[in-house]
Structure 1
Amino acid sequence: MGRCCKCNGRLLCMCLLPCMMTGHLLIYILVSVFVTISYSPPKITIHYIAPGISANSSELASYPLGPFWNLRLEDSALWNQLQHAWDRQYNPILRGNITGIMRKSKVELLPEIENDCVSDCVSRKCSVPRMHGLNSLPEQMKAFISSMHCREYPLLINQPGMCRRNNSSFGLDSPMLIMAIKTQVGNFENRQAIRETWGRSGLVKGESNKKGGLVRTVFLLGRQDSSTGPHPDLKNLLELENQKYSDILQWDFRDTFFNLTLKDLLFWNWLQQYCPTAVFVFKGDDDVFVRTDALLDYLHKRWEEHNLWRVRTNETDNDLDLFVGDVINNAMPNREPSTKYYIPEHFYKGRYPAYAGGGGVVYSGSLALRLKEVSERIRLFPIDDVYLGMCLDRLGLSPIHHPGFLTFDLPESDRGNVCAYRSVLLVHKRNPKQMLTLWKQLQNLPGQC
């Protein structure tokens, strides 16, 4: 009888054990589903509204955070709809029926805006895409919209031999650093101050005096913008300047704030054709000051780290994807019509991707060529820094923040202190006189501090 009880007890345990395990598993699944449904991600505080307005003191951030790159069609926003059409066109999953997709994109999705001009962009004879509220926009936005499909402009002044070895007295194959400076025709003083200080072309030593590199500087220009008022004709002076220094690149488009993005695209085209082996590129404005020797030290370090990584991992075919600057996250479009950064709701909706703002960034030459390629699938945007962030985002890359890029300057109390510049790579902004003064003060900086 006792043995029978023991057998029955074991049998009962063996029967109940799977039931208990199944019950626990069911409870675990129900709890997991409940937690997943009820979970909401932590809210990220918006700390920046382009170009630098605090969200705590403004009502301009009118849109919630969400993914930047989004295939969801945004109603009434011109850029979003145009980009949506391109996203569908270049989607590899949908390309099997590319004809039908493009027909649908143009006819069904974008009946009010898909009116890309097919006339000559250089002649500037172009019809404006139909857009709600277009007539109420500022002139610079209307001008941008009328030509945002135009990406190719003739070179008026070129430097085809800038990076050729037989043009170098140093026997080097290619520049360690090419500095592409955005400027305007009338900014003679800025260009000259850069040539005499941080933008000198030639063999430049690093701050440590151990390593340096060949630096080449080019200035990126468009045509004088006659729409802003009467200007003296500076064409002959610019030609004389170029004859003396041979560092001007000028294209036949209006040199306006919203056309700064064109300088990036056209420079990438030039770089691919005339200087594809440049190791690094600095892109900046003509009112910044760069500690070029310290920048070369930083770039040498990154280059050596990358080469060491390639040897260790046997990834010898991988190029360096480096993009460094003063990175801005969670930025929203500026909706204040009185600012030059104004982006109306009818043109663009959503937040901006992470981008490096201010007066300058540095990136690898190999990445520059990839940016050129991916830019062909991204609609032009009137803020050049944001557009670079869009291109990076599409490549699946993020800009690297470096605290030495001071695009909003040093604290006022430190600007006259030479030792405060020890960790600075770039500071914005400085006029020509300040560049020359600061350059003299910073000679032999390590010895002074």
Structure 2
Amino acid sequence: MGRCCKCNGRLLCMCLLPCMMTGHLLIYITVSIFVTISYAPPKITIHYVAPGISANTSAMASHPQGPFWNLRLEDGALWNQLQHVWDRRYNPILRGNASRTPDEDSEDDSVDSELCPSCDVAFDLSGVPEQMKAFVRSMHYRRYPLLIDQPDACSSNSSSGSRSAPEVPPLTLLMAIKSQVGNFENRQAIRETWGRSGAIPGEVLRRGGLVHRVFLLGRQDSSTGPHPDLKNLLELENHKYGDILQWDFRDTFFNLTLKDLLFWQWLRRRCPAATFVFKGDDDVFVRTDALLDFLNRRWDEHNLLRAYTNQSQAALDLIVGDVIYNAAPNREPSTKYFVPDSFYKGGYPPYAGGGGVVYSGSLALRLARVSRRVRLFPIDDVFLGMCLHRLGLSPSHHPGFMTFDLPEADRWNTCAYKQVLLVHRRTPKEVLTLWKQLQSLPGGC
């Protein structure tokens, strides 16, 4: 009897053991789940968060918007490959102090941007228009002799403007106008109208500013056919007005980028104290008095901000124009803007459209330096956008820059120009007529 009970007890223990183990396992799993759910990580005190733009909040940025230096190579595109070499060479993270270019802060502009043997990348020129072929052959050259210089262009006694304006205006505006040797009429119309130099009053703010003027020229392009020799006429024009800058390169559409590049270098030597710079074409019309009012307001705002933040040395990074976003290369071979896929891949950065743009003098000096790290591009407006991109800046859009002209119905409605700072595509005769009409705007405008 006793032996039978002992056997039954062992059997019962063996039967209950799996149940007990299963029960313990269930309890362990339940406790683990509860601990995991109820666990809260320790709070970490955040001492500083950089301001910026984020998807979650408009006040803070959780991460940078994108890399400053592009280290991704676009295969098969000449410009991208050449720029890729420089982006890696001048990346401070990869190179440390060695990333600084020898000429970055130098006043000697005779030093070319560094070239390298690996930059000689193969590029198929077959089927490419002649202007692109010519650009590719010369795109490494950045040093051209200055044939006509204006060392005193920004001196206060080099301008003869309105005598009724203040003797010492608080603001200086340098107008750099892209022209060609044969465009005598365009230059003269500008001199007599919106491009007058001297102390110019504003439209509303009478203090206005001190305006200087230079025309940016290359030499006549002999490849487009025989041209009359206008050298003597140009010398007479320059002797009378003293406002011609001419470099020894062919004045072609794709070489307009050189005018930006060489002008910035000239500005750094001859006119570094200019408050603002207007760069435009010689077929635009500018309401200079209204532009001076706009710039005076921006300058006053900047000075107030500097005083409020106690940053007396803070520079104004201003660039304003008719901004074009999300543009892409024109792949139509028949257009003058054609850029083949074998030369450049990708979209364009934001840039101010052709015709005219205004930027601060301090930004112009920064553009002179950063342009040494950007490969030349055949479209000057896009090249300026590329230089701004490497400075971490974007141009600001202003609706008063009408680079694509006014609606047809408003072209000769003088009241329609009340909100305009610049309008594109005007002949010398139209510039003179429009200027005369705007001098006596009707009071009802």
Assess same fold via TM > 0.5: yes
- Contact persistence 1:163–1:175 (CA under 8 A): no
User: Residue type of the partner of 2:388?
Assistant: L
- Contact persistence 2:367–2:387 (CA under 8 A): yes
User: Residue type of the partner of 1:189?
Assistant: E
User: Residue type of the partner of 1:130?
Assistant: A
Distance (Å, rounded) in 1 between the aligned partners of 2:307 and 2:374: 35
**TM-score when normalising by structure 2:** 0.79
Cα deviation, 1:367-425, whole Å, max 9, x if unaligned, reads 00000000000000000000000011100011000000001111001111111111100
Aligned to 1:329: 325
Distance (Å, rounded) in 2 between the aligned partners of 1:413 and 1:287: 20
Aligned to 2:46: none
Q: Which runs of 5+ in 2 are unaligned?
A: 1-28, 41-54, 56-65, 100-114, 161-165
**TM-score when normalising by structure 1:** 0.78
Max Rg structure: 2
Instruction: Say which of 129, 142, 148 aligns to 1:157.
Output: 148
Q: Secondary structure at the match of 2:248?
A: strand
Distance (Å, rounded) in 1 between the aligned partners of 2:227 and 2:257: 23
- Contact persistence 1:68–1:351 (CA under 8 A): no
Distance (Å, rounded) in 1 between the aligned partners of 2:71 and 2:146: 36
Distance (Å, rounded) in 1 between the aligned partners of 2:382 and 2:69: 13
Distance (Å, rounded) in 2 between the aligned partners of 1:445 and 1:304: 28
Aligned to 2:84: 84
Instruction: Say which of 345, 350, 353 aligns to 1:349.
Output: 345
Bigger shift: 406-415 or 206-215?
206-215
- Contact persistence 1:165–1:171 (CA under 8 A): no
RMSD: 2.6
Aligned to 2:132: 141
Residue 19 of structure 1: how far off its partner (Å):
4.3
Residue 22 of structure 1: how far off its partner (Å):
2.8
User: Residue type of the partner of 1:260?
Assistant: L
Q: Which runs of 5+ in 1 are unaligned?
A: 1-14, 27-40, 42-65, 100-104, 116-128
Matched, 1:359 2:355: yes
Equivalent residues in 2 for 1:69-148 (5 A)?
A: 70-95=70-95, 110=118, 114-115=119-120, 130-131=122-123, 133-148=124-139
Equivalent residues in 2 for 1:141-290 (5 A)?
A: 141-165=132-156, 167=158, 172=168, 176-208=172-204, 210-290=206-286
Following superposition, which runs of at least 4 residues in structure 1 exceed 2 angstroms of deviation?
15-26, 66-70, 96-99, 164-175, 444-448
Distance (Å, rounded) in 2 between the aligned partners of 1:353 and 1:275: 28
Aligned to 2:37: 23
- Contact persistence 2:169–2:209 (CA under 8 A): no
Instruction: Say which of 414, 419, 422 aligns to 1:418.
Output: 414
Aligned to 1:38: none
Equivalent residues in 2 for 1:1-80 (5 A)?
A: 19-20=33-34, 22-23=36-37, 70-80=70-80
Residue 208 of structure 1: how far off its partner (Å):
1.1
Distance (Å, rounded) in 2 between the aligned partners of 1:340 and 1:256: 11
Q: Which has the higher contact order (CA 8 A, sep 6+)?
A: 1
Aligned to 2:8: none
User: Residue type of the partner of 1:376?
Assistant: R
- Contact persistence 1:163–1:174 (CA under 8 A): no
Q: Secondary structure at the match of 2:92?
A: coil
Distance (Å, rounded) in 1 between the aligned partners of 2:241 and 2:81: 45
Q: Secondary structure at the match of 2:436?
A: helix
Distance (Å, rounded) in 1 between the aligned partners of 2:78 and 2:314: 37
Distance (Å, rounded) in 1 between the aligned partners of 2:158 and 2:97: 50
Distance (Å, rounded) in 1 between the aligned partners of 2:432 and 2:423: 14
Cα deviation, 1:292-325, whole Å, max 9, x if unaligned, reads 0000000000000000011111111111000000
Distance (Å, rounded) in 1 between the aligned partners of 2:247 and 2:441: 39
Cα deviation, 1:150-180, whole Å, max 9, x if unaligned, reads 1111110111011124546786499610000
Aligned to 2:107: none
- Contact persistence 2:324–2:350 (CA under 8 A): yes
Distance (Å, rounded) in 1 between the aligned partners of 2:266 and 2:200: 23
Bigger shift: 228-237 or 164-173?
164-173
Report the CA distance shift for 1:166/1:438 in structure 2 as closer, same or farther (over 3 A).
Answer: closer
Distance (Å, rounded) in 1 between the aligned partners of 2:266 and 2:381: 19
Instruction: Say which of 338, 346, 370 aligns to 1:374.
Output: 370
Report the CA distance shift for 1:130/1:203 in structure 2 as closer, same or farther (over 3 A).
Answer: same
Distance (Å, rounded) in 2 between the aligned partners of 1:168 and 1:437: 24
Aligned to 1:385: 381
Q: Secondary structure at the match of 1:350?
A: coil
Distance (Å, rounded) in 2 between the aligned partners of 1:418 and 1:326: 21
